[in-house]
Structure 1
Amino acid sequence: MKTTKYISILILLLTLSFVACNDKLNIEPEQNLSPEAATESASNVKKILNNIYAVARDNNSYGGIIQSASELIGNTGDITWNGTYTQPAEFNEKAMLADNSYVSSIWLNAYDVSNQANIVLASLDVFTDNDEKAVAEGEAKFLRGLAYFDLGRFFAKPYIAGSANSQLAAPIVLTAVMDASTIDFPSRKTLDEIYTQVIADLTSAYSLLPESNDVYATKYSAAALLARVYLDKGDYENARTMANDVIGNSGASLTTTFAAAFNNSQNSDEDLFAWQVTSQDASWNALNEFWAGRDFGGRTGNPDVPINAQHFTIYDDPNDARSQFFYTTSRGTATTKWQYQYGNIPFLRLAEMYLIRAESNFRKGTSIGDTPLNDINELRLRANASLFSSVNLATILMERKRELAFEGFALFDAKRLGQNVGSIPFNADRLVMPIPLREMDVNPNLVQNEGYGN
């Protein structure tokens, strides 16, 4: 028998309640639920789909660790690690070890999301309602595309527009694994192959998903994520197209104040997609855990990630609400963005789309949708900051930093813009996560990233 118990793509996390409550006959014991029973009805498949959101929103993934990892690895002095955990300290020091459990969790959860999405996609024939089938397919592809996007960004050297991008990234697994005997040992694909798959998934999701879908992914969630992906690739024309579509057609609007975009129990008018958080969740809000003071649910670092004086030099107007969105604890300054322990986690905000459209239009010398100046001033007006009379690329990028600070963009922006992280080159080995040791131990076809041994 293959030694597969440590292989991340095996993790299904199928809940034990897939059999419908009104199915009184021939109910299999829950602890022995077969893969066939788990996917025998549309209702059961939708439960699997709902569980994918829970896995992705786990504190070890988009519930906080992914965003915090990007901020700490990309940190140039704006923040400090004040906590006792060694894993985030390794991020901040750019000295990650292959057995870092947070790195392992990011990898494991991404393949858990991917495999469960594959299960949904392989089970679409059980749907008799074509609209429900399309939504299920679209949501599964949105979540799978997201998972591979960040696997590529964390585990590969930066994407360079116009180059082959043959640097190794992560395995791509598109076949559902529901039986350990079918497991194989995939090798890593190139970053170009990862991005091709991501764009294929998200483009399909965009065509399949409805314009509104309660708190789940919508057509414009997919468009917003595509805008982010295209921006990361340096494909400014497509980034501009997607961002402009979202701004013009999604129905979303900037919240009336900057503060109103955060710490909400329900999605705000600005949210294109947010991870849902409640007091009943099995997983916690790790952004609150690390970035909030103890009085608001944070850890003993109070906060574990304090904001340093250097950060405040980016604000050019003392009246800018974003420069005031902080509070002081006994051990430092905390951002107010993650103050509410049970607040939803904004993930795709309309503000980001204005920034993407402004940057893309500026780089292309166009004004599709609106001018870069007007888009930037739209955000500054909302923040009560003085308006600009003109903008250039530097002012657009600085506005991006003001607006999106501490939301998980630091490392990724440094890589895509070719900006060094302190004295560390943007394409250095130290800014790429190691392939987790447990994966290297069981998969002979994986090649370790440079700087981490073999």
Structure 2
Amino acid sequence: MKKIVPGLLAMALLAAALPSCNNKLNVQPVTYIDTSTAFNNASDVQAALVGCYTGLQSVNLYGGYLQLMTDLLADNGDESFVGTFTQPQEAQRKTLLITNSQVSATWLSAYDVINRTNNVLANLSKLSTPAQQASVEGEAKFIRSLVYFDLVRMFGRAWNDGTPASNPGVPLVLAPTLTAADALPVARNTVADVYTQIITDLTTAEARLITGGGLNSFSASRYACAALLARVYLQQGDFANAAAAANRALATTSLGLNPFYGANFGFTTANVSAATISITTNTNTIEDIFAIQVTAQSGTNQLNTFYARNRRADVTVLPQFTSLFETGDSRALLYTPATASVASYTRKYDALYGNVKLIRVDEMLLTRAEANFRAGGTPVGATPLADVNAVRTRAGLPALATVTLAAILKERRLELAFEGFRLGDLKRNQETTVDPLTNASIPWNASRLVFPIPFREINVNPNLVQNAGY
């Protein structure tokens, strides 16, 4: 009898409990649910797919903690965590413990989402039409790839650090985990294994979503698949493929830059300058390729909790970062001015129920610019200079006459700051960071910049090997 581990499909669990109400003596098990009960028809599979998106909303994933913890681990003086929570403090100090509860929660939530997608993919035959099957397969594989890409970058060494074919990555689980015992034998696949699976899944997903998956940034589209592929290839240093994928992600007139950078975070040019105004909503725009949906009923924007000055205000922005803005740069309006007694804060997360923007047009323009520049030869799509100037013009800055790699990377740093990009960029560009307590330099490939495999996982699964340095 096939079974699904609890916590994977809450809606299905509730539905399964209903028959037992007719006979109080016929008590249904509460630790699992038969797949035959959970997936009877196309509607059940579609509902399970919605559950995959819901899983991404978790505060332990893209609801905020994943971006916060990776940015703090990479930080070299752009921000400071001044709150009292020990888990983020460990990240900023580059002294993560194997018992860090937030690291463990992110691992658990990630594999929960992966298992949800695996259950959807195992039941594609229940869908009514080939078009439905293609769409659902594409969306589920996009979600699984998104999670695996961040897992392997957090818990494995960087692609350019040593040998990916032998460096331990994370366990690849590609079939539903039906019982608790099924999870015990898993071991860590190599970094190369994980990247190969991600690229395979995303390539399939992009092809499947030619006719399925709407361009509404609520759900995965072929443009989102291409954009995520561009990220993966850029992380690998495969610049030709990164440029081509970014170009495909931009190949629709339905997407474009917002006239004002702050519109990505719910602001207009009128209200962003008013220090007393706080926004409560932040919806999708033409710039969003894929975003996590947050409402008062569903999802949590934990970035609002930590970054917003009218919430916990646990993360301050330091002069090292704000000094990078040129005079007239409208992106600087998203940072409150510091005084002798008050620190600077980012306003990107002022919206209490703001959607979390994961993939935007501006990232793809800068990815295409960097990848084309590094690859050399004839550029794919626009030239690096044109792409960089598109971003600069939107920011109210004069166009550059020539472009350098340093200029491209600076625009990327300013455009995507405090959104979870810093650790990946630091490692692929082989930059150093610093210990905030001693000011000692920490190289990009230091063991302490890799997250530990959670103690609870090592403790119950002897096949999991801990990362070096822990």
CA distance in 2, matches of 1:183, 1:158: 26
Decide whether the 8 Å contact of 1:12 with 1:115 is kept in 2.
Answer: no
Give the equivalent residue in structure 1 for 2:463. 445
1:178-193 alignment, distance < 5 Å: 178-193=178-193
* Cα separation, 2, equivalents of 1:445 and 1:24: 40
Output the CA distance in 2 between the equivalents of 1:166 and 1:399: 34
CA distance in 2 between partners of 1:84 and 1:57 (Å): 24
Mapped contact 1:87–1:100 kept (Cα < 8 A): yes
| Match of residue 406 from structure 2 | 394
The Cα of 1:199 is off from its aligned counterpart by 0.6
1: CA distance, partners of 2:161 / 2:460:
34
Matched residue, 1:358: 369
Q: Which of 315, 324, 328 in structure 2 is aligned with 1:314?
A: 324
Does the C-alpha gap of structure 1 residues 241 and 451 become closer, same or farther in structure 2, counting only changes over 3 Å? same
Deviation (angstroms), 1:25? 12
Q: What is the Cα deviation at residue 13 of structure 1?
A: 2.8
Q: 1:347 to 1:55 in 2, by over 3 A?
A: same
User: Where does structure 1 lack aligned partners over 5 or more consecutive residues?
Assistant: 1-8
Give how far 1:243 is off. 0.6
Instruction: State the alpha-carbon separation in 2 of the partners of residues 39 and 448 from structure 1.
Output: 37
Contact 1:211 / 1:250 at 8 angstroms: preserved in 2?
A: no
TM-score, reference length from structure 2: 0.88
Partner SS state of residue 291, structure 2? strand
- 1: CA distance, partners of 2:48 / 2:204: 20
Q: Give the Cα–Cα distance (whole angstroms) in 2 for the partners of residues 183 and 343 of structure 1.
A: 35
Paired residue type of 1:260: A
The range that moved more, 357-366 or 375-384, is 357-366
Give the direction of change, closer, same or farther, for the CA distance of 1:338–1:235 in structure 2 (3 Å limit): same
TM-score after normalising by structure 1: 0.91
8 Å CA contact 1:138–1:208 kept in 2: the answer is yes
State the Cα distance separating 1:265 from its structure 2 match. Answer: 3.5
Tell me how far 1:31 sits from its aligned partner.
7.2
How many pairs align? 435
Query: What is the root-mean-square deviation of aligned Cα atoms in Å?
Result: 2.3
- 3-state SS of 2:336 partner: strand
3-state SS, counterpart of residue 441 of structure 1 = helix
1:406 lines up with 2:415 in the alignment: no
Q: What CA deviation, in whole Å up to 9, does each residue of 1:241-299 have, x standing for no partner?
A: 01111222362110110011113542110000000000112x421110111012xxx21
Give runs of aligned pairs for residues 293-304 of structure 1, distance below 5 A: 293-294=309-310, 298-299=311-312, 303-304=313-314
How far is the alpha carbon of 1:211 from its aligned partner?
Answer: 5.8
Query: Is the Cα–Cα contact under 8 Å of residues 261 and 395 in structure 2 kept in the other structure?
Result: yes
Query: For each residue in 1:274-330, what CA deviation from the matched residue of structure 2 results, as whole angstroms up to 9, or x when unmatched?
Result: 00000112x421110111012xxx21xxx1001011111222x21001122112597
Q: Determine helix, strand or coil for the equivalent of 1:273.
A: strand
Stretch of structure 1 that moved more, 246-255 or 82-91:
246-255
Match in the other structure for 2:272: none
Query: How far has the Cα of 1:162 moved from its partner?
Result: 9.5
Gaps of 5+ in 2: 267-280, 435-440
* Identical columns (%): 42
- The corresponding residue for 1:292 is 308
Letter in 2 for 1:442: V
- Are residue 324 (structure 1) and residue 346 (structure 2) matched? no
Q: Cα–Cα, structure 1 residues 10 and 149, in superposed 2: closer, same or farther, change >3 Å?
A: farther
SS at match of 1:272: strand
Distance (Å, rounded) in 2 between the aligned partners of 1:30 and 1:265:
43
Q: Give the drift of 1:165.
A: 4.1
Partners of 2:181 and 2:76 in 1: how far apart? Answer: 47
Report the 3-state secondary structure (helix = DSSP H, G, I; strand = E; otherwise coil) of the residue aligned with 1:178: coil
